[in-house]
Amino acid sequence: MIYFKSANYRPQFLFLVLISMLYACAKHTPIVTERPSLNDYEIGEKMTWEWKRSVDGEIRDQGEDYKEVVKFKNSLGFYYGNNDTLNIETILNEKPSKTPRYKWPLKLGKKWKYEVVWENNEGTTGKTSQDVEVVSYEELTVAAGTFMAYKIVYKGRITNSRGFDGALEDVWWYAPALKTYLKHTQDDGEVLYSNELIAYSKPNKN
């Protein structure tokens, strides 16, 4: 009797475990995440990131980036400090790129091509070309807290007007609840760049 009772119990137990796992996945994994709209932002939202650039494990440069949602020209804007404010509507209404950093909507397994031509503050121009994949939706803890985020991996090459041509890998963790990224790392084989959200707050909420 004991054998048959245990044998009958085991499948029921495994079934309950499986249901619990599926429920947990369904609870934490969104089917898709659409691009934020203007109504998703709230005046007073504040975000601060800490960034570092390292060579051979030694930090050569570091600082902070700041962004706050403010009232701007009868609408909303992103204030970055030093009187630098961009209209959110203008950003959201930009014509979508065929090779964007984020290809909306985001979902697990999605792949696309990211390409951008750029120029830095020193006048150096260049091009970044990478293959992108959303590899997971996971819980990530940063200094600002713990949030669910898409882990998006970018692999490709970077070239510039100074003759550099090399491999480049970026990893972004995008948190739908915050409408922004929690962390970003970039490795070109010589310099390791990291950027992490260290503070996030909403009005009347710490």
Write down the pLDDT at residue 156.
98
Q: What tokens appear for 137 in the block?
A: 């939706």
With H, G, I as helix, E, B as strand and everything else as coil, classify residue 53: strand
What 3-state class would DSSP assign to 52? strand
9 vs 115, which has greater pLDDT? 115
Please, what sign has the CA dihedral across residues 15, 30, 102, 49? negative
pLDDT of residue 170: 98
Give me the pLDDT at residue 13, please.
Answer: 44
Q: Which residue has the tokens 């609408």?
A: 75
| Whether residue 7 has pLDDT greater than 90 | no
Residues 153 and 157: their CA atoms lie apart, in Å, by 13
- Of 16-20, 43-47, 92-96, the poorest mean pLDDT is in 16-20
The confidence band for 30, taking pLDDT boundaries of 50, 70 and 90, is low
User: How far is CA 98 from each of CA 41, 95, 102, 114, 117, rounded to the nearest angstrom?
Assistant: 26, 9, 10, 8, 13
How far apart CA 2 and CA 26 sit, in angstroms, is: 36
- Kindly report whether the global pTM for this prediction surpasses the value 0.85: no
Amino acid 23: pLDDT: 43
Structure confidence at residue 6 (pLDDT): 46
- Which residues in 120-141 are b (16+ Cβ under 10 Å) and which e? eeeeeebebbbebebeebeebe
**53-111, pLDDT tens digit by residue?**
999 989 999 999 999 999 999 999 999 988 899 999 999 999 989 999 999 999 999 99
Q: Is residue 50 predicted with pLDDT exceeding 80?
A: yes
* pLDDT above 70 for 182: yes
3-state helix, strand and coil shares in percent for the chain, rounded to the nearest 5: 15, 55, 30
pLDDT over threshold 60, residue 194? yes
Each residue of 119-143: pLDDT tens digit?
A: 988 899 999 999 999 999 999 999 9
pLDDT tens, residue by residue, 138-179: 999 999 999 999 999 999 999 999 998 999 999 999 999 999
